[in-house]
A = this chain, B = another copy of it.
Amino acid sequence: MIYLDNAATTYPKPEEVYVALDKANRNAFNTGRGSYKCARAASEIKESVRNKILKLNNLKNGKVIYTNSATVSLNELIFGIDLKENDYVYISPFEHNSIIRPLEELRKRIKINIEIIPFDKETWNPDFDKINDMFAIHHPSAIFLSQISNVTGYILPYENIFKLSEKYNSINILDASQGYGIVHINNYENINYIVFAGHKSLYASFGIAGYIKLKNDKLKQNIFGGTGSDTMNPNMPNTVPEGYEAGSPNIVSICGLNASIDWLNSTDIYKHEKELTDYLIEKIKDIKKVKLFIPNNYENIFGIVSIGIKDYSSDDVGSILDDEYNICVRTGYHCAPLIHDFIESLWYNGTVRISLNYFNTKDDIDLLIKALKSL
């Protein structure tokens, strides 16, 4: 089987992660201020992994809040940053329903305005002049941008967009689910929160994700419950991260993340995956029937490539690749509704998404190319 659906979840994980998960399952104590050593040891791992997450991107002074999924992280942020009626929120056309749907809910509840940041259809560059004008007319209260598009693999120039919001006190959120730990976030001066997903670019398991709070803005709490501390108080504690982590943390998945970060630190994933991405694009662009959904310069495409095949619905391509070639890709709209109009993939019922990871090889791509040529 050739697995090319790594944007859904990376597979396989490093052997070290499987070993750590099994070991943790077989020693899974609940954390918290238990009165015994094992519970305290579990709490210590939970804290030390926070630092490892920060160090992975050389972040200074951030605070890591664990959640169970990137979707939960984004919900906590969208409902937590205290948007008000008539506020203007900006998103890119590359965003996922984990951003669009909670914002739409908020629009219905309190009438916020959701604006789409303009990008050029050829170069995929943002139209900075127009964005400047938009921000000047309707000051941004919050901006949500993906680090890497989950459909197209495009690394957005988020830092340049966030920079334009400097004078407006905007709360800026970077959804780094597809890239945290692999594609470095260089400029984070204008970022308030970074969202990460353990089971994607971090090569850990399901059950652990979170967000990094980089600034001192106020964040309303969204999930309430036991924190193992201050029990007699019916209110959540006010502290970060304690006040934002109700319920038993998934200590097993945290142990898996602990192992995966060690592995990430010892492996040059970016280089290998970028080479594979470029190799894939080079090979695929010569196939006549293929429509490649990339900008005219694909320097900033990383790990994910979406295509359409002339005269085929994307779902049919997926089925053929699976049935006849044992190749796993994901097809359709990938929970990102706006991008299909932008890249004009509606005609194909969405895209055939090929997403790579460190364990893929050029041989995998050669087999995919052979399969696509046979269509």
Contact = CB atoms under 8 A, between A and B. Distances in A.
Contact of A32 (B8, B26, B39, B72): B8
Given A36-B328, A71-B223, A246-B98, A235 B104 contact: yes
A367 interface: no
A98 B206 contact: no
A64 B330 CA distance: 27
Contacts of A246: 71, 75, 97-98, 101
A223 B75 contact: yes
Contacts of A26: 12, 18
B34 A250 contact: no
A98, A231, A251, A319: most-surrounded residue (chain B CB, <10 A): A231
Given A29-B11, A315-B35, A68 B72 contact: yes
Contact of A9 (B28, B37, B236, B350): B28
Contacts of A18: 22, 25-26
A267 interface: no
Nearest to A150: B226
A5 to B, nearest CB: 7
B247 A98 contact: yes
Nearest to A337: B232
A18 B38 CA distance: 19
Contacts of A334: 231
Contacts of A233: 337
A98 B231 CA distance: 11
A343 interface: no
A329 interface: yes
B224 A102 contact: yes
Q: Dominant SS at the A interface?
A: loop
A307 interface: no
A118 B96 CA distance: 48
Contacts of A336: 231
Nearest to A346: B232
Contact of A72 (B3, B37, B223, B236): B223
A71 to B, nearest CB: 3
A70 B195 CA distance: 23
Contact of A97 (B32, B74, B231, B317): B231
Contacts of A100: 234
Nearest to A13: B25
A306 interface: no
B207 A252 contact: yes
A72 B38 contact: no
Given A70-B247, A246-B101, A337-B234, A36 B329 contact: yes
A134 to B, nearest CB: 20
A37, A39, A68, A225: most-surrounded residue (chain B CB, <10 A): A225
Given A104-B224, A226-B98, A231-B336, A328 B75 contact: no
| 6 closest Cβ pairs, A-B complex | A35-B318, A71-B247, A226-B335, A231-B333, A68-B68, A98-B225
Interface of A: 1, 3, 5, 8-9, 11-13, 17-18, 21-22, 25-26, 28-30, 32-39, 68-72, 74-75, 96-98, 100-102, 104-105, 199, 205-207, 221-228, 231-236, 246-253, 314-315, 317-319, 321-322, 327-337, 340, 350
10 contacts: A5-B34, A17-B25, A22-B22, A28-B206, A35-B321, A35-B322, A36-B327, A36-B329, A68-B207, A231-B337
